[in-house]
Amino acid sequence: MANKNPKKDYFVYFFEIDENVVIQDKHGSSNILIRNSNDIKMDSIVKLCESSLINYYKPKYNKEHVDTILEETNYVKKELTSNGYSEMITEVYLEGPFGKISTQSKKFKKYTEIKISL
The answer to whether residues 88 and 76 touch, using CB atoms and an 8 Å cutoff, is yes
Q: Does 59 fall in a domain?
A: yes
- Range name among 33-42, 68-77, 102-111 with the lowest pLDDT average: 33-42
pLDDT for 14: 67
Task: With CA atoms as reference, report the closest residue to 13 among 70, 53, 62.
Answer: 53
What pTM value is reported for the model? 0.70
User: Residue 84, CB half-sphere, CA atoms under 13 Å: how many?
Assistant: 4
Cα dihedral 112, 104, 88, 96 in deg (nearest 10): -30
Asked if residue 109 belongs to a domain, the reply is yes
Total tally of structural domains belonging to the chain = 1
28 vs 12 pLDDT, higher one: 28
Label residue 21 by pLDDT band (50, 70, 90).
low
In a domain, 2, yes or no: no
Beta bridge partners of 88: 116
3 state SS of 86: coil
Residue 84: domain span: 40-117
Residue 103 lies in a domain: yes
How far is Cα 44 from Cα 81, in angstroms, rounded to an integer? 14
**66-87 tens-digit pLDDT:** 999 999 999 899 999 998 888 8
**Residue 97 covered by a domain:** yes
Residue 92 lies in a domain: yes
Facing residues of 34 across strands?
23
6 within domain boundaries = no
